[in-house]
A and B are shown apart, each in its own frame.
Chain A
Amino acid sequence: MARFAAGKAPFLRIADQPKQGTAVIMRDFMIGMLPVILFAWYKNGIQVYMDGNIGLLEMFYPLVFVVLGGVFSTLLETIFFLVTDPNAKTMKSLKQKLGTSFAAIPGLILALMLPLYTPIWVLLFGCFFASIVAKMLFGGFGNNLFNPALLGYLAVGFTMSGVINAAGGLFNQSELLIDAYAGATPLGLLARLKVLDYDLLVKPYGSLWNFFLGTIPGALGETSALALLLAYIWLSVRKVIRWYTPVIYIGTVFVVSWGLGIASGEAGLWFPMYSILSGGLFFGAVLMATEPVTTPKNPFGKVLFMLFLGVLTVLFRFIGNFPEGVGTAIIAMNIFTLPLDKFAAVVRAEGYRKAAFWKSVAIGAFILAIAVYAIFKGATMYAAFAAGGLF
């Protein structure tokens, strides 16, 4: 009886087991996004409806908006496959392609990063940038250099911010009625006032507890550290992300912000807390800086990447032009993913010894230099009132 000799060692694969493999990892990732999506819906839909400020149908709008992001991205990728891929003409092969491309994810994340009253056509524009420009043109799933959703977000931010503001911006109907918000997000307020003062920066939004819960104005999915903490726990337990990556990122922002506060004359712990809980830091740290394709692969590379992200975020946020720095920092670091990967792999292979050790020290010194620059530059830009402070 002739028998075949086929296959390569190892003949056991996790990917072959039921409920394992990349598709399951991506499914787990989407489950991880659920608390964020649900909170966005609660805060901007359900809560506002209960306040009596919108009708029943409008209550569903935030949810519809996020889902539309996913739908747009899937549709755009479908069209892309139909136009460019001769192998994707039948329903079956198309389904196969989309099934291994995880088309919905960039649009979903992008929608969560946008303000509530972003016009739908702007969302579509962003999805085009995310799915087609940043992902498919780079070669599809696994080959993109930049985080697709983030590139879509920056494209929208650079070209459409006026349009979004004109259409209603990021305040939901309940938040519009609160005078204390003065038409700004916490970071927007800081950029305008240039003063580190608890009463001016935190009080208008209640307390830091509200920052943690996410009941402050901001983009759809970004405000709630709590929802993102749930996502973080789920994703870490399911081993979709490494537990230490967001911790290092957020920790670095905390430490450097604290330094910046102290150098400016505000030593209170409220400021670093305010710094990590406002803007999109938790969102970026949990859902985007951990995105596997565009971040380094080995543990040492990840650690370096996160340290860089931390100091760059503070630099861009407090020293740069825009109120927020998370997105720019991540996109900027995406460029360095490939060299960092290579460098980290060599250092790790050599067992963290020899020449690579000094290169690591040099990189560490560089990170430190950025941090120190941010801190002292910050000290010249921000003033602090001696009075006030929670801690």
Chain B
Amino acid sequence: MLNQTAKGVRIEGKKAMSKHDGLQEYLNPQVVYIPLIQQTETLKRLVEVGQEVKIGQVVATREGWGPIPVHASVSGKVSAIKKVWHASGKMVDAIEIQNDGKQTLAETIRPEADVASLTKEQLVEKMKLAGLSGLGGAGFPTFVKYQSKLPIDTIIINAVECEPYITGDYMMIVKYPEKVLKGLSYLMRAAGATKGYIAFKAYNTAMKEALAPFLSAYPGIMLSEVKDVYPAGWEKYLVQHILKKNYQGLPSEAGVIINNAQTAIVFADMVEHNIPLIARAITITGEGIKEPKNFLVPIGTQVKELVAKCGGYAEGLDPAKSHYIAGGPMTGRAILIDELIVNDTLGSVIVKPMPLEKDHPACMGCGKCADACPAFLTPTEIQKAAERKDLELIRKLKATKCVGCGLCSYVCPSHIEIADFVDKAKVLLKKGA
């Protein structure tokens, strides 16, 4: 009880359905939409309608907190500024680029002459120029982590993919194992870290087999298997279980930086070839998709094209009785996916039939939500405090420590939207503060 190490809950993975076909490259969609938003920051557009752009050309910049550039992901002509559906559940402005199919590269994309002599500062600068953000789903600008004043000795590459259904990271690592290791070694150099871990779930033996042959060339890098539980991919879970350390706010307090596996791959490309963040892997899956697949696509690709490449929706799928989810099944959002575009944080789209309706009794106070909470909160109390709008109590109950993993709602035997109540409490705090 006194030992607050997150335990996690075993959830059926359902990953097999999208592991058949490997990673499909789909790098030349007719048209892409570069969304003018990252996390909650609106981007400043730098191109006009009618302008020609090349792959890797900066088309917008993120200003304010964590400024990074955003690049064109195909070459062609800017044809319009349009509203599109974004994974955050909002309609946002996006730069529409008609692909000319020529894949002309920007002048900045060229092999780096002398990778070995790049300094720490140069590496962090490259991170920034690459427009690199956390590809695991948070979209946190990567270079910000590397500007930490605290001493960093360990980098952990998060390849856990603890949410069910998703297999994008897995596919990328199996296909590009050496790039992951290279990326990690550059990240270690950028932070001055001596140790590197690649964390993945123990059952992913294919990942281990892909990485193992290259390991000997990268001293200081170790593979680390974690349990098949959710949320084993949570940063704090990894630090607690791999390093047996704990921290309050950010992992850097424990001398650790955690990056997603795809982030490392993109960084390897950036360091060696100056290719910025223009593409990512996405899993189109779920019982409602005919042939679930993983794709490597340019940022801004329309999801409906990918769904069509998967053979469309499963036969007999009732659109009114299905969930269309942007992101993972635990933290994603219900969305109109026909209009959705791929952005830097979108790792999966899941279509699945809604479960059958049941009658659910009121909360009986079983406390399973409190038992499951990886942050050791008591969601029912936070809910009560939120209903009374008792800000002082919400603060005392540390609602801000909630990581939004959704486990409390997942385990609730009465199907109560308890995670949603905790979200509301967090919103109340923000408003009140």
Q: Which residue of B lies closest to A142 (CB)?
A: B362
**Residue interface bits B350-369, CB-to-A below 8 A is 1, else 0:** 10101110111111111100
With A341-B381, A349-B378 given, is the CB distance from A102 to B332 under 8 Å?
no
Q: Is B376 positioned at the interface, with any CB of A under 8 Å from its CB?
A: yes
Contacts of A140 in B (CB 8 A): 362
Contacts of A303 in B (CB 8 A): 1
Contacts of B364 in A (CB 8 A): 22, 25, 141-142, 292-293
Identify which of B26-34, B141-149, B404-412 touches chain A: B404-412
Q: Is A121 positioned at the interface, with any CB of B under 8 Å from its CB?
A: no
Q: Which residues of A contact B (CB under 8 A)?
A: 1-17, 20-25, 96, 99-102, 140-143, 292-300, 302-303, 341-342, 344-346, 348-352
Residue in contact with A3 in the complex, picked from B327, B338, B376, CB distance below 8 Å: B338
Q: Is B82 positioned at the interface, with any CB of A under 8 Å from its CB?
A: no
Chain B's interface size range is 35 or more
Q: Is B413 positioned at the interface, with any CB of A under 8 Å from its CB?
A: yes
B415 to chain A, nearest CB (A): 4
Residue in contact with A6 in the complex, picked from B2, B334, B407, CB distance below 8 Å: B334
Q: Could you give 8 example pairs across A and B, Cβ below 8 Å? A: A5-B334, A14-B413, A15-B360, A15-B413, A100-B361, A140-B362, A349-B377, A349-B397
Q: Is B187 positioned at the interface, with any CB of A under 8 Å from its CB?
A: no
Contacts of B354 in A (CB 8 A): 6-7
Is B378's CB under 8 angstroms from A101's CB? no
Q: How far is the CA of A351 from the CA of B371 in the complex (A)?
A: 14
Q: Is B380 positioned at the interface, with any CB of A under 8 Å from its CB?
A: yes
Residue in contact with A16 in the complex, picked from B336, B355, B370, CB distance below 8 Å: B355
Q: Is B329 positioned at the interface, with any CB of A under 8 Å from its CB?
A: yes
Is B365's CB under 8 angstroms from A10's CB? no
Is B377's CB under 8 angstroms from A348's CB? yes
Q: Which residue of B lies closest to A101 (CB)?
A: B361
Residue in contact with A96 in the complex, picked from B359, B412, B419, CB distance below 8 Å: B359
Residue in contact with B335 in the complex, picked from A5, A17, A298, CB distance below 8 Å: A5
Is A12's CB under 8 angstroms from B378's CB? no
Q: Is B22 positioned at the interface, with any CB of A under 8 Å from its CB?
A: no
Is B397's CB under 8 angstroms from A346's CB? yes
With A21-B415, A303-B1 given, is the CB distance from A100 to B334 under 8 Å?
no
Q: Which residue of B lies closest to A298 (CB)?
A: B370
Is B332's CB under 8 angstroms from A11's CB? yes
Residue in contact with A13 in the complex, picked from B89, B397, B415, CB distance below 8 Å: B415
Is B376's CB under 8 angstroms from A12's CB? no
Is B361's CB under 8 angstroms from A12's CB? no
Is A4's CB under 8 angstroms from B412's CB? no
Contacts of B325 in A (CB 8 A): 9, 11
Contacts of A96 in B (CB 8 A): 359
